[in-house]
Structure 1
Amino acid sequence: MKNKIINFIITFFLISVFIFIFFDKFAMPIYIRKGNTDRLINVRGKILERAISELKVSGFNGVVFDTVFTSELLPQTIIDQYPPSGQKVKKGRTVRLKISRPEKMVNVPSLVGKSRRSAEIAIQQLGLELDTVYIEFNPDYPRGTVAWQFPKSGDKIKKGRGLQITVSQGLPPDFYQVPQLFGLSLNSAKDKLSLSRLKLGKITYQQNEDLVPYTILDQSISPGTVLNKTTQINLIVSVLNLQDIFDSIQNQK
Structure 2
Amino acid sequence: NLAERKKIPELKSQLKKIKDSLTPSEKIDAAQKVDRKTRERLASLGYISNVQVIKKKHFGIHDDVKILLPYINKTEEAWELYKGGKGDEGIKLLRKIIEERNNMDLAYKSLALIYDAKGNTKEAIAILEQGLGVLPSNYGIFIFYMELLISAKKYDKVITSFEKMSIREAGYDPAIWNNLGVAYGKKGDFEEAIKTFEMALSLDDELPGLNNNLADTYYLHGLQLHDSFVFSQCFKYYKKAIELDSQYAAPYLGLGLAYRK
TM-score scaled by length of structure 1: 0.21
In our comparison, the structure showing a higher alpha carbon Rg is 1
Higher helix fraction: Structure 1 or Structure 2?
A: 2
Higher strand fraction: Structure 1 or Structure 2?
A: 1
